[in-house]
Amino acid sequence: MDNKELYRLALEALKYSYSPYSRFPVGAALLTKKGNVYTGVNIENASYGLTICAERVAIFKAVSQGERSFEKIVVVGKDGNGIPPCGACRQVMIEFSPEIEVVLYDSKKDEFIVYKAHEILPISFRLEVNDEQQ
Ligand code: THU
Position 134 scores a pLDDT of: 72
Ligand 1 pocket test: which of 53, 59, 102, 121 has the largest number of ligand atoms within 8 Å of its C-beta? 53
Identify the pLDDT of residue 128: 86
**What residue type is 4 in one-letter code?**
K
Query: Stretch 3-20: mean pLDDT, rounded?
Result: 98
Phi, psi of 81 (to 5 degrees): -85, 155
Q: Nearest CA to 27 among 82, 89, 68?
A: 82
91-125 pLDDT tens trace? 999 999 999 999 999 999 999 999 999 999 999 99
pTM: 0.96
Residue 12: is its pLDDT beyond 80?
Answer: yes
Strands 101-106 and 70-77: parallel
Is 44 assigned a catalytic role? no
Write down the catalytic residue from 12, 44, 55, 101: 55
| In the chain, where the domains are located | 3-120
- Which residue puts its alpha carbon closest to atom 3 of ligand 1? 53
* pLDDT category of residue 130 using cuts at 50, 70 and 90: confident
Tell me if 102 CB under 6 Å of ligand 1.
no
Convert the pLDDT of each residue in 40-80 to its tens digit: 999 999 999 999 999 999 999 999 999 999 999 999 999 99
Indicate the fold that domain 3-120 takes in CATH: Cytidine Deaminase; domain 2 (3.40.140)
42 C-alpha to center of ligand 1: Å? Answer: 6
pLDDT computed for residue 92 by the predictor: 98
